[in-house]
Amino acid sequence: MTAALRLKLENIVKEYPGCRANDGIDLTVGAGEIHALLGENGAGKSTLMKVIYGVVQPDEGRMIWNGHPVTVDSPARAREMGIGMVFQHFSLFETLTVAENIALGLPADEARDRRKLDQRIREVSGRYGMALDPRRYVSTLSVGERQRVEIVRCLIQESTLLILDEPTSVLTPQEVTALFATLRQLSSEGCSILFISHKLEEVRSLCHNATVLRQGKVSGGCRPGEVSAVDIARLMVGDDTPISTQVSAAQAGDVLLGVRNLGCKRRDPFGTSLTDVSFELRQGEIVGIAGVAGNGQDELLKALSGEIRPDRGSMDLDSMRMNALSPAQRRKLGVAVVPEERLGRGAVPGMSLAQNALLTASGQDLVDRGIIRFGRVRAFSREVIRRFGVRCTGEDSTAASLSGGNLQKYIIGREALQNPRLLVASHPTWGVDVGSAVAIHEALVKLRDEGASILLISEDLDELFQLCSRIGALCEGRLSPLACTAELSIEQLGEWMAGGFDSGEASHAAA
Amino acid sequence: MELLTNILAAMVVAGTPLLLVALGELICERSGVLNLGQEGMMLMGAVAGFVVALTTGSLAVAVFAAVFAGIGMALLFAFMAVTLAANQYAAGLALTIFGTGLSAFVGAGFVGESINGFERVAIPLLSDIPVIGRVLFHQDLLVYFSLVAFAGIWLFLHHSRGGLLLRAVGEDPEAANANGLKVLVVRYLAVAFGGGMAGLAGAYLSLAYTPMWTENMTAGRGWIALALVVFATWRPERVLIGAWLFGAASILHLVLQGLGWRASTELLAMLPYVVTILMLILLSFDPVRTRLNTPLSLGQPYRPSH
């Protein structure tokens, strides 16, 4: 790059109690450069972004902006300077309209004339191919549309550096293509982009340069287009961690779970209703459900676990009608559930690992006539920790004290040790480090080989293609046909995720 | 007709203190701060207004004194609940207990005294409209102020940048901070406004409704206001309806007794509270609209991260 330097960070240090999140980080981004910031969860990417955007103050180090040393003491200051940020969890207000959300970030005099602002939003969003209606409430927008609002907001503020935190994790493949086209257009106009991701193929296709972080330090830099994804992954995880699981072919047996025309009217006004969901799940196979968050995944999981009762249709486990059974009764039949939120639904944050084991595994002889047998609880918990390689100080550590990956290994292990016949897992490797993700994938495959049926709900398409024998997608509460992974193209799945399938036609393309 | 007009006019008067305090609390809660100290702030406003009116003889000065007493109390609360990020429920309850005690102490020497309260002022032309003229435009100045305040707050919430900031901070202070808004400043202003309105509501009781001071003269209106704001789903137009409904129900027992009804006074005195809450529960049944108007961060202290 010959372009002028836009941002230069020198020796940034940020220390939190018990952890040095950023330990002497250097980073340079040129004008019009798309720069990738890579690293595992906990590598210090988020902290570094927050430092640049003025959300937190670094303990040491210098920041140079367009050639001048600066101190960014607040996000407002960062925006004045021309730094815009799109958070992974959007900082939008659901109860306000698109225009109101954008007006909040503008100086008062620019936001006063609403009609003019509406006009400007239409103009900017049109120019970059991101159609938006300024009058709609954010609560009615899809995740992809919300992201557009965030980006358009930054553009209207005339940002010259756009920070995007894992922007593609919530998009369909088609939306990703459209986003990349927008980003390339911005880059060609001189806007710098700091692109945070752990999806290496995307980084390779989009970014000019990359900086890789590991444990708070820069572990290397590269031109992503010129090296292989494996080389970059090595920089991210170090030399001693396996990068992916080898998955053997599944030997599917008889049908275990039959879901027919399942319908659930939404309870939460901003939730999704399930409509006519039908599928079959065989013993010894993993079936994947793809889809953008908020399209009924949570409702499907709850309907299967028994947290909500369906209004229509049927769910049969073997020949047992499950519709009216409580979660506890289903658990007795061998239904295990790993929900999306680890802290709060999968485990109680303030309770010890042993106590958390008791929550779902009490049927494993851990309770005798209402009295807890603590010896057995601890033994069970220790067994989970040992078998699944959970890194912790012991079964007495609280769930909240574990890292995401380790807690997830514990939760999956807790369910796996109960020999479930059906396991429903939602986003099991979301926000988990590569090492733990591999361990979790191995645990799922092992469970499958022991004859269990697994329903894997995930937004990570790589994960689905790697583990599942059949895949379908949820869109607005409807389920696409399920197709054999080997015969399914990523484009086809993308169309399904966007709703491109015939409703009600629950043909099992390759059942 | 004459009777109906009289009843409606009395309803507006009886509902006004509730309207004032509830509008203030609505603004406060829209910023995400729940101030359970309404009763205490109202009592302080009532006693401050009465004592100043008695000693200076000026109702205008008395009203200012009441408003500042309310704001003073509110700032005390804001220091605990916003600056120190203390538990809002505990801090609010403490404020009510403190205000109840302090107002009784300050007002102890003034029980039994009397003043000339606010007089009715007819607005030319408007007061000649049949029924509505008598009901809305032949009242005292504070009633007029409550109407202006209602209109102002409605406009502020839905059509001003300030209202946008307030709603944003109340929905998600973290996101508001990320957007560069000054969360703590917005919350301070909202709490102070709520205090001023509560002080004014107290003054209405001791300077207009019943121009005198008795201990605990707010009779739970501060608590009703809190319920009113929630069941009105944080919308000013519903607060207005609810407050006047409360006013209507609270004069109903006088009317019924006048008509020769025989019923337990205690039961009838309970009526306004029950009617208001039942009515508002029925009104707040639309989950989407409710969700769009609910300040999501209500009651949660916000600590800026470092």
Chain A closest-CA separation from residue B82 CA (Å): 19
Give which of A47, A95, A102, A149 to mutate to test B binding, by max B Cβ within 10 Å: A95
Residues A107-128 have a mean pLDDT of 86
Chain A closest-CA separation from residue B94 CA (Å): 29
In one-letter notation, the amino acid at residue B290 is: T
- Please identify, among A178, A211, A237, the residue that sits at the C-terminal boundary of a domain: A237
B120 touches chain A (CB under 8 A): no
A contacts of B291 (beta carbons < 8 Å): 95, 139, 269-270
Contact check, Cβ <8 Å, B168/A93: yes
Contact A334, A360 (CB under 8 A): no
Collect all residues with Cβ–Cβ distance below 8 Å to B206 and sequence separation of at least 6: B46, B47, B49, B50, B53, B66, B212, B213, B217
In a domain, A262, yes or no: yes
A269 touches chain B (CB under 8 A): yes
Interaxial angle between packed helices B183-204 and B221-231, expressed in degrees from 0 to 180 and rounded to the nearest 10: 130
Q: What is the pLDDT of residue A2?
A: 46
- Whether the complex's predicted ipTM is more than 0.90 is answered with no
Question: Is pLDDT of B173 > 70?
Answer: yes
The DSSP element (H or E) to which A471 belongs, if any, is strand A470-475
Contact check, Cβ <8 Å, B178/A269: no
When pLDDT is cut at 50, 70 and 90, the band that residue A245 belongs to is low
Determine the topology of domain B2-293 in CATH: ABC transporter involved in vitamin B12 uptake, BtuC (1.10.3470)
Residue A308's domain comprises 255-350+420-497
Q: What strands, in cross-sheet order, belong to the sheet with A19-30?
A: A19-30, A5-16, A60-65, A68-70
The number of residues in chain A equals 511
Mean pLDDT of chain B: 90
Q: Each residue of B146-169: pLDDT tens digit?
A: 999 999 999 999 888 899 999 999
Contact check, Cβ <8 Å, A139/B291: yes
Are A208 and A292 found together in one domain?
A: no
Are A164 and A44 found together in one domain?
A: yes
Contact check, Cβ <8 Å, B180/A103: no
What is the percent of chain B where pLDDT is above 90?
A: 59
**β pairing state of A209-214 and A60-65:** unpaired
A contacts of B165 (beta carbons < 8 Å): 104
Q: Each residue of B64-122: pLDDT tens digit?
A: 999 999 999 999 999 999 999 999 999 999 999 999 999 999 999 999 888 888 988 88
Nearest CA in chain A to B288: A269
**pTM (two decimals):** 0.74
Q: Each residue of A246-276: pLDDT tens digit?
A: 677 878 889 999 999 999 988 776 678 999 9
Collect all residues with Cβ–Cβ distance below 8 Å to A481 and sequence separation of at least 6: A472, A496, A501, A505, A506, A507, A508, A509
Question: Measured between alpha carbons, how far is residue A444 from residues A39, A253, A388, A491 in Å?
Answer: 25, 17, 11, 26
Are A38 and A139 found together in one domain?
A: yes
Contact check, Cβ <8 Å, A91/B181: no
Give the domain CATH number at A333: 3.40.50.300
In a domain, A360, yes or no: no
Q: How many domains would you assign to chain A? A: 2
The residues pairing with A83 across neighbouring beta strands, listed in sequence order, are A161
**Degrees, nearest 5: CA angle A370-A375-A376:** 70
Contact check, Cβ <8 Å, A57/B293: no
When pLDDT is cut at 50, 70 and 90, the band that residue A507 belongs to is very low
Mean pLDDT of chain A: 87
Chain A closest-CA separation from residue B179 CA (Å): 6
Residues A54-82 have a mean pLDDT of 90
Contact check, Cβ <8 Å, B179/A105: yes
B168 touches chain A (CB under 8 A): yes
Are A10 and A99 found together in one domain?
A: yes
Are A54 and A177 found together in one domain?
A: yes
A contacts of B178 (beta carbons < 8 Å): 53, 55, 75, 85, 87, 91
> Among A13-17, A188-192, A294-298, which range has the highest average pLDDT?
A188-192
Q: Each residue of B38-79: pLDDT tens digit?
A: 999 999 999 999 999 999 999 999 999 999 999 999 999 999
Grouping H, G, I as helix, E, B as strand and the rest as coil, residue B123 is coil
- Tokens standing for residue B90: 């505990």
What is the phi/psi pair of residue A56, to 5°? Answer: -125, 155
What is the percent of chain A where pLDDT is above 90?
A: 46
Are A264 and A233 found together in one domain?
A: no
B285 touches chain A (CB under 8 A): no
In a domain, A359, yes or no: no
Contact check, Cβ <8 Å, A96/B287: no
Q: Each residue of A139-160: pLDDT tens digit?
A: 888 778 888 899 999 989 889 9
B180 touches chain A (CB under 8 A): yes
State the CB neighbour count (10 A cutoff) for residue B72.
18
Question: Is pLDDT of B25 > 50?
Answer: yes
Residues A495-507 have a mean pLDDT of 72
Question: Is pLDDT of A335 > 60?
Answer: yes
Are A220 and A169 found together in one domain?
A: yes
A contacts of B305 (beta carbons < 8 Å): 55-56
When pLDDT is cut at 50, 70 and 90, the band that residue B305 belongs to is low
Nearest to B172 among A55, A93, A112 (CB): A93
In a domain, A272, yes or no: yes
Q: What is the pLDDT of residue A200?
A: 81
In a domain, A397, yes or no: no
Are A289 and A177 found together in one domain?
A: no
Are A140 and A183 found together in one domain?
A: yes
Contact B204, B247 (CB under 8 A): no
When pLDDT is cut at 50, 70 and 90, the band that residue A26 belongs to is very high
- Alpha-carbon distance B172 to B292, whole Å? 13
In a domain, A377, yes or no: no
- Please identify, among A237, A267, A295, the residue that sits at the C-terminal boundary of a domain: A237
> Among A87-101, A205-219, A220-234, B32-46, which range has the highest average pLDDT?
B32-46
Are A75 and A165 found together in one domain?
A: yes
Are A66 and A172 found together in one domain?
A: yes
